[in-house]
Amino acid sequence: MSLRVKVYSDGADRASMLSMAQDERVHGLTTNPSLMKKAGVSDYVGFCKDILSQIRNKPISLEVFADDLNEMRRQALEIKTWGENVYVKIPVTNSDGKPTTDLVHELAHQGVKLNVTALFTLNQIFSVCQALKGGAPSVVSVFAGRIADTGRDPIPTMKAALEMCRSMDKNMELLWASTRELYNIVQADQIGCDIITVPFDLIKKMPMLGQDLVEMSLDTVKTFKKDADSAGFKL
């Protein structure tokens, strides 16, 4: 299946990140503090610089972990220096709910390439797009998968977000975040999203896109038979 949307791998396992960087289907990489903790990363700086020494030809989004906005600024400016392919991830608010839009505007207009993350509402998206407008190349990450987890259809939000990005700045890209299934890639592609972040395990399933359903049915039946035979079931 031919896709226009750019697939970014999402994770923090070193071996998987290096493997994904060599995969022609993957156009970039993202990670975050939660994924790093899950992967057992303890040295944030050491891990990031090691990855960046190995991956230089694809964009990588690395997130600040400070909660104070001044410290967030300092971390962002430091992370920026680690490579030309680095996008600095800034959450839309800190943990107290204080918006980061003023900081986003400041950094974007200082030439820091940003990936503004954890966006859920149209008000958040509009404010972030306004802050990024006229600045360095940027990514607007809307958590479509988590919106869907609440029982809401994320498509109207993503379509509206895309219109905001397109109308404000050609250097602004919309990212479909928190992908749950392969069909999300098709959805993101159909509405015109620029990027979708996909976990390692789902990227491995991408050859299934567009697969013949009759063949899949037969393969499923063969699997049932093989497993029943190997288990020695009798009736």
- Mean pLDDT, to the nearest integer, of 26-52? 98
Element containing residue 87 per DSSP (H, E): strand 86-91
pLDDT band at 211 (very low <50, low <70, confident <90, very high): very high
Query: 3-state DSSP call for residue 232?
Result: coil
Query: Domain spans of the chain?
Result: 6-210
Q: How far apart are CA 27 and CA 51, in angstroms?
A: 16
Residues that are catalytic: 89
CATH topology assigned to domain 6-210: TIM Barrel (3.20.20)
pLDDT exceeds cutoff 90 at 177: yes
DSSP 65-76: --SSHHHHHHHH
Element containing residue 10 per DSSP (H, E): strand 6-10
